[in-house]
């Protein structure tokens, strides 16, 4: 899986978890939604960890400093830089 693929999948999982969280605000006893929410959160956490191990931290406040000699957050593109954003080239947007 490429860096772009991993980021796209992570964005999808984060969106699903947000959407399920909103649904659960109005349907707090829906066990199927709770189970799905927990599965999505677990999958997103696992993918986020793999991404950060391979490509560096996604944000400064939730990543462990794996390199104690240098602050790795500075090595990755910042959110406002073009390289930090996912490319949706060739994909149809709705």
94 — pLDDT class (breaks 50, 70, 90): very low
pLDDT of residue 57: 77
Q: What is the mean pLDDT of residues 39-58?
A: 90
Q: Which residues contact 85 (CB under 8 A, 6 or more apart)?
A: 79
| Residue of higher predicted confidence among 52 and 94 | 52
pLDDT of residue 78: 67
pLDDT at 34 over 90: yes
pLDDT of residue 48: 92
User: Of 38, 37, 39, 59, which Cα lies nearest the Cα of 48?
Assistant: 59
């Amino acid at each position: 899986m490429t860096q772009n693929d991993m980021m796209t999948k992570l964005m999808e999982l984060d969106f699903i978890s947000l959407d399920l969280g909103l649904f659960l605000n109005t349907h707090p006893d829906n066990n199927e939604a709770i189970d799905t929410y927990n599965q999505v959160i677990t999958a997103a956490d696992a993918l986020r960890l793999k991404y950060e191990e391979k490509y560096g931290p996604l944000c400064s406040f939730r990543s462990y400093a794996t390199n104690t000699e240098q602050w790795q957050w500075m090595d990755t593109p910042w959110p406002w830089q073009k390289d930090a954003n996912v490319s949706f080239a060739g994909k149809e947007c709705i």
